Amino acid sequence: MKERRSIAAPASGSVKALSDDSGIEYWHGRILVTSQGYILPTSTPVNHYLRISPRLLALVPAAVAINLVVGTITRELSLPVYLDTIGTVLVAAVSGFGPGVLVGAVSQLLLGLLTGYQYLPFVVIQWLLALLVALAASYHGFRSVFRTVLWGLACGACCGALSAVISYTLFGGSTGGGVGWLTAALRSAGLPLGVAVAIGSSSTDLLDKTIVIVVTGMLLRTLPRRILGRFPRAARAVGQ
Amino acid sequence: MTLARRAHPFTTGAVALTAVTLALLLADTQDVIVLYLVTVLVAVATGAGAGVRRGLYVVVPIWALLFILQVLLGLDPRTAAPWGGTMSVPGVQFALSQGSRLAVIATASLAFATTFDPQRFLQASIARGWPFGAAFLLVATLDAADRLASQARQLREAQRTRGVMVSGSLATRARALPALIFPLLLTSLTEADDRALALDTRGLLLTGRRTAIDPPADSPTGRALRWLMLVLVIAAAVWRVRR
């Protein structure tokens, strides 16, 4: 869904840009890089600049808020999962990898204001998730429950593995919260620390990410065509 | 108003960021423990003591887990523990080193958070000519979080009146989840275009220098402190590389 349009450059003059539904455009020196990777020369030298479309500027705060609020709802229901990446998954599915990364980064930065920035390294899990979900969306990964479960398990396995590496390397397995105590229980049962951390992180992430992706898939499939029409990637994700 | 709240938001941010960076750069455990004590003292002295308390809530469970996983169940060699039994020698080193680093990071960032005023930060960013989109994103997200949390509370009560059970067995609570989160997700998607139109018509994405209406005052002392923090970080980085 590409269209050629004229947009004002941050400096004087204007450049031609390719705009897509992800809504992010970058300028750097004398070139312009669109979110789909097109590199175009510009007539005006401009500073590195990031322009966010109004729709994305409206969607990203809502998605970050969803991450925070749904995480709170899940804690209030005392469920053994986090579901605090549902906004990231939703945006990555409807707008692509770049916006998903943006939501993940802002979520983690904002969470840092509530719980401290010691968990900031886990932002890479949000980015990996955004990448995998964008990939799933481009391969119609949200077309059926079966497909979402498969993609959910794949995302959970990848994110769990990365989470285990971060948790083991930077925290020695002591990340606090339920996963930390599960790791401690497994370690007391005689498992080596690395194995205990891997099992603790992977089991939680496998369940968590699968539920997040299945829930997002259910939502996308129930969206009316009118709304799907506004998000072409979401339509592609559910195979329409 | 406390000193930390009166200060320019970039100054408090720079101090917190310096503490975090030094915690990552310093190699000796004793140095990091001293840094933690300095961070606590600075936070309390400038009126951000609430951040120290919140920091303790966050790091005490981590310390407890470090004690169990590294000190009690850590690798050999082991030595006699003061409470009887044995403890891991490398485990004690790791627990002290990582425990104090995490404490500095949590305390500095939460002390900064207790003094952080999004609107002052936005005004300061505009006055400095920073990209408006980035600053707006932060402030709009904080607003959206408040709005959505309020919607979630109303939704929860409404769904309970319709018979959705939010307590009981794990299966019952899990079944309540879609009824509580689907409307929030759907609303955020459907409202995106309306909000985008509102942002566009209000000229939010216009380029060019913006005017800050009420920027926070910046003092020469604040500017000097920010430069000092930068010099400290560079010095620590050079010292670490040369060591």
| Yes or no, beta carbons of A176 and B65 under 8 Å apart | yes
Q: What is the pLDDT of residue A6?
A: 44
Q: What is the pLDDT of residue A47?
A: 37
* Closest residue by Cα to residue B132 from B122, B142, B141: B122
Q: How far apart are CA A137 and CA B196, in angstroms?
A: 23
Q: What is the mean pLDDT of chain B?
A: 88
What is the distance in angstroms between the Cα of B228 and the nearest Cα belonging to chain A?
23
Quick one: pLDDT band at residue A14, thresholds 50, 70, 90?
very low
- In this structure, what token pair is assigned to residue A130? 């955004």
CA nearest to B62 within chain A: A176
For residues B17-44, b (16+ Cβ closer than 10 Å) or e, as one string? bbbbbbbebbeebeebbebbeebbebbe
| Yes or no, beta carbons of B177 and A183 under 8 Å apart | no
| Yes or no, beta carbons of A187 and B73 under 8 Å apart | yes
Q: What is the ipTM of this complex?
A: 0.79
Going from the C-alpha of B34 to that of each of A40, A171, B31, the distances in angstroms are 52, 20, 5
Chain A contact for B107, CB < 8 A? yes
Q: What is the pLDDT of residue A46?
A: 38
Test mutation, B141, B153, B202, chain A, max A CBs within 10 A? B141
Q: How far apart are the first and last CA of chain B?
A: 43
Residues of B with CB below 8 A from A189's CB?
none
Give the closest of A49, A66, A171 to B148, CB-based: A66
- Strands B78-80 and B86-88 turn out to be antiparallel
* Closest residue by Cα to residue A151 from A94, A107, A216: A216
CA nearest to B91 within chain A: A172
Note the pLDDT tens digit of each residue in B22-49: 999 998 999 999 999 999 999 999 999 9
**pLDDT above 70 as % of chain B:** 98
pLDDT of A49 > 70? The answer is no
Cβ(B121)–Cβ(B139) under 8 Å? yes
Q: What is the pLDDT of residue B179?
A: 86
Q: How far apart are CA A147 and CA A170, in angstroms?
A: 34
Q: What is the pLDDT of residue B205?
A: 65
Of the two residues A125 and B194, the one the predictor is more confident about is A125
Test mutation, A57, A94, A120, A231, chain B, max B CBs within 10 A? A57
Chain A contact for B153, CB < 8 A? no
Quick one: pLDDT band at residue A92, thresholds 50, 70, 90?
very high
pLDDT of A12 > 50? The answer is no
| Yes or no, beta carbons of A174 and B94 under 8 Å apart | no
**pLDDT above 70 as % of chain A:** 78
Q: What is the pLDDT of residue A43?
A: 44
Environment class of residue A186 by beta-carbon count within 10 Å: exposed (0-12), middle (13-18) or buried (19+)? buried
Residues of B with CB below 8 A from A87's CB?
188
Cβ(A54)–Cβ(B196) under 8 Å? yes
Average of per-residue pLDDT across A157-174? 90
